[in-house]
Structure 1
Amino acid sequence: MDLNQSGNGRQHFVDKLVAGVIKLFKLPAQTIQLISAKREARTASARFARTAHAPQLKAESVHCIFEAWPRLKEQVTAGGGLTDEKVIGDETQRNLFYRIKIETEHANRNNVTRTEAYRAVYFRCPELHWALFAHVISRNGGWNMTDLQGELLPRILSPKQIEANFELLERANALIFSDAYPQLLLYEAGKKAGRDYSHLLPQFGVSRFMVQVWAQFWRKKESPLLTTALIVNEQHFIEARIVRNSHYKRNVLDQPEFQLQAILQTNAVFMPYSATVTGEMKLAGLVLEDFSSLEERIEFGKRLYALLYGVPEVYEGVLAFVRAVQHSGSRADYAPHLFTAERKPGDNRRRKSYKQRLRGCSLIGGARPLYSPKLAEAWSDVLFEPAEPGDWVDWADDVQHFFRDLPLPPVFEITNEYCLGINKIELAVLAAEGIADKK
């Protein structure tokens, strides 16, 4: 199988691969599994929803933030947005500024250090819902990174595509952390000092929009509003720097392989909500259909937040998992019965033909768990390049419509569907090998 094709050749290969997966997945056994998984997902989600209470956004608080939007937009457009640290006159505040910058740089080394930093902040300040939310999302980012060096994806992606996909995942993860983590630390410092430091946010390159959000949070402590604002802010923050960036569009987002995400469901974000000591894997989450859509990414984030904080069984289970399991980047963190971080000596994934190992959420008798390396064994640290300057308020439309509600998704228990997603990737590998054998 030639994974280094270019242009029309690669598009043709992907088209045939998709057709092959669909054909294999329409076999009677797979069809029955899919129908059963979807039925079980709906049933379990409906049962959890009976005791769910989605976080609420207060209309009057939203109005207080957005009544200043026209003036804020004029100010940013006129050049009154991001400022320089030299304007900080107070020595205490200057010391705080440099301490937070150093701490952020230290924690922004890789996905594992970022994920742990979010977790630590949450346990120090549990009112910061976004810290736990970001921790869970960042775990998913790490698993996606190590998948690129794991058992399956190297069999259907070229080394060039693997590197390009990692570059995008790493840059997005690091960019969001560089913007969000100083906000969390600044709030924590203010909480200890008994004063509001939100006026210092622009010194860290944070959007002016977040200044009034944090100032209001300081007064009212409305966690759902702050979390929603951070979701909106961070997705706008990466929109121009990642999604519209010509480099990432050319090398990843516009590539034929990227369309495989929807078919193979590799763009799912899920939250383990069962302690691994029981040996039972339970996952709640959603599938992002269109990464290129800013609106879809924001609504996706809002639904995930509503799921995490609105369904007691999910929140309590996720919290137990987060407390018990240190993030390593390996999927063995949450499913040691399906994955292993230990690579079999002499294993060559590119030369050795693949044999299907999973049936539903179980290994076929005698099959070895799928290789899922720890992040440190899969990728070296990447030196973080500072974010390109600019405040998204300058180009964004009115974002108030994102603050109307926090809807709970109707179906969110995806344990069995997740396993079928792995089955699909296995079928993609088998289909790719079949295409190669016919050449």
Structure 2
Amino acid sequence: MIIFKQTRDHMKILKKQLKKAIRQQTDRHNLTQEEENIIQTIRSVTRKQNQNNVTRTQAYFDFYQKHPEIHWALLAHLVSRNAGWNMTDLKGEYLPKLLSTKEQTDFFVFLERGNWLIFQDAYPQLLLYEESKKCGRPLFHLLSSMEVSRFMEPFWNQFWTESTKEELTIALIINEQQYIEGRVIQNKQYKDTVLNTIMFKLQDLFEFNHILFPYTTSVQKKTKLVGGTVHHFSSVKDRIILGKGLYDLLFSVQSRLAQTIEWTKSHPHTGSRKDFWPQLFNDVKETAPGQKHELQSSPCSLKPETQRIYSPALTDSWRDWPHLDAESGDWYRNKKMLHFLKKPVKILSGDIQDSYCKSIEEMELAASTKSLFHKNG
């Protein structure tokens, strides 16, 4: 289990800084030319890397490899992989039989908007840290000039002086979930089209929101899965609790962490679930047109099948989506969020593989039943 080092004096200083941040008004008119150049460069790089789920997911991992002290970058990479898999599922073997074309697009836009927003808020923070290392001095006073919440500056400054890796990671988890809360989760458009309709439909049929962390075992050289499940996606509290649990799951067992990193290095993200289970998934459709896919055994057996489950690459599923600028405004209004730092981590068992395989079987059954219903209707 990850241990969070939080002395009373440390928390007192942090509370004071966060209280000051609430009152602080951002002065964006007093930047040097060098600072303006830094901000413009960071914005340009962020826009380029935020092209689609594949580019942003890879950007997170590239950054982590250069700066492994930033734990959040690896966590974000793996969670972003899962977002990509969910996006391609919408064009895969089963979900097109369960969702209309409009529902598929609505769900994709919901997932893509959240993925895009988090990246355009978090990646500039990572690049500013990288620039600070190059300069040999903290540049985190520039965060507010890049529309980053005032909540984050005290944590980056503390990390710079004390290397509080775990604390910074939790702060970034809190920030990202609060950032998308008003812009996506509570946004009427997405509530009406996705959360209250499509998500409800899928949750009613099977547990759809698995977060999977693949790793390759040292001895058997098999790819296994650990992870967790989002049970109440619309609850910011539950998403933060799950994020902390996933962080603990990822970093608490060093041997498995090394195996996860090794798997990630050798399997570039494409968006297809073939990336982690090529025995079960293929990015080429093997089922003939009009024919329904039938599993020959449990998905967890990973035995060679006559027909693998279709799981396309992201670039074959969706075009790059144009986004409106992020909605302005700072979510941080009071220091209540500090209790998420102090609250003990909810330990996840990590046993996700059987549950995930069961959800595949349930999806196949649901798709098959709907096809039969339409055929007889």
Q: Same fold (TM over 0.5)?
A: yes
Matched residue type, 2:63 = V
Is 2:353 the partner of 1:415?
A: yes
Residue 251 of structure 1: aligned partner: 193
More displaced stretch, 257-266 vs 109-118: 257-266
Report the alpha carbon displacement of residue 125 of structure 1 after superposing the two structures with TM. 0.7
Residue 294 of structure 1: aligned partner: 236
Contact 2:183 2:327 survives alignment (8 Å): yes
Residue 58 of structure 1: aligned partner: 6
Q: Deviations over 1:255-276 (max 9, x none)?
A: 1553423642220101001169
Is 2:38 the partner of 1:90?
A: no
Q: Residues of 2 paired with 1:373 and 1:322: CA distance?
A: 19
Residue 48 of structure 1: aligned partner: none
Report the alpha carbon displacement of residue 423 of structure 1 after superposing the two structures with TM. 1.1
Specify whether residues 263 and 305 from structure 1 end up closer, same or farther in structure 2 by C-alpha distance, changes over 3 A only: farther
Q: Residues of 2 paired with 1:115 and 1:71: CA distance?
A: 34
Contact 1:302 1:406 survives alignment (8 Å): no
Report the alpha carbon displacement of residue 304 of structure 1 after superposing the two structures with TM. 0.3
Q: Deviations over 1:394-416 (max 9, x none)?
A: 3x671111011452524212222
Identity, % of aligned positions: 38
Matched residue type, 1:427 = L
Residue 150 of structure 1: aligned partner: 92
Report the alpha carbon displacement of residue 343 of structure 1 after superposing the two structures with TM. 2.5
Q: Residues of 2 paired with 1:371 and 1:224: CA distance?
A: 38
Specify whether residues 340 and 406 from structure 1 end up closer, same or farther in structure 2 by C-alpha distance, changes over 3 A only: farther
Is 2:322 the partner of 1:380?
A: no
Matched residue type, 2:197 = Q
Relative CO higher for 1 or 2, CA cutoff 8 Å, sep ≥ 6? 1
Residue 139 of structure 1: aligned partner: 81
Residue 14 of structure 1: aligned partner: none
More displaced stretch, 261-270 vs 372-381: 261-270
Specify whether residues 94 and 185 from structure 1 end up closer, same or farther in structure 2 by C-alpha distance, changes over 3 A only: same
> Any residues of structure 2 matched to 1:293-372 within 5 Å, and which?
293-344=235-286, 347-348=288-289, 351-362=290-301, 366-372=305-311
Is 2:219 the partner of 1:274?
A: no
Report the alpha carbon displacement of residue 313 of structure 1 after superposing the two structures with TM. 3.4
TM-score by length of 2: 0.93
Matched residue type, 1:242 = V
Residue 25 of structure 1: aligned partner: none
Is 2:14 the partner of 1:72?
A: no
Contact 1:55 1:310 survives alignment (8 Å): no
Residue 137 of structure 2: aligned partner: 195
Contact 1:358 1:423 survives alignment (8 Å): no
Question: Structure 2: which 5+ runs fail to align?
Answer: none
Contact 1:57 1:405 survives alignment (8 Å): no
Contact 2:246 2:348 survives alignment (8 Å): no
Report the alpha carbon displacement of residue 218 of structure 1 after superposing the two structures with TM. 0.8
Residue 430 of structure 1: aligned partner: 368
Q: Deviations over 1:126-169 (max 9, x none)?
A: 11000011001111111111111111111111111000000000
Is 2:75 the partner of 1:168?
A: no
Report the alpha carbon displacement of residue 433 of structure 1 after superposing the two structures with TM. 3.0
Considering only aligned residues, what root-mean-square deviation do their CA atoms show, in Å? Answer: 2.2
The alignment covers a number of residue pairs equal to 376
SS, match of residue 336 in structure 2? coil
Specify whether residues 336 and 366 from structure 1 end up closer, same or farther in structure 2 by C-alpha distance, changes over 3 A only: closer
Report the alpha carbon displacement of residue 358 of structure 1 after superposing the two structures with TM. 4.2
TM-score by length of 1: 0.81
Flag the structure with larger Rg: 1
Question: Structure 1: which 5+ runs fail to align?
Answer: 1-52
Q: Residues of 1 paired with 2:173 and 2:248: CA distance?
A: 12
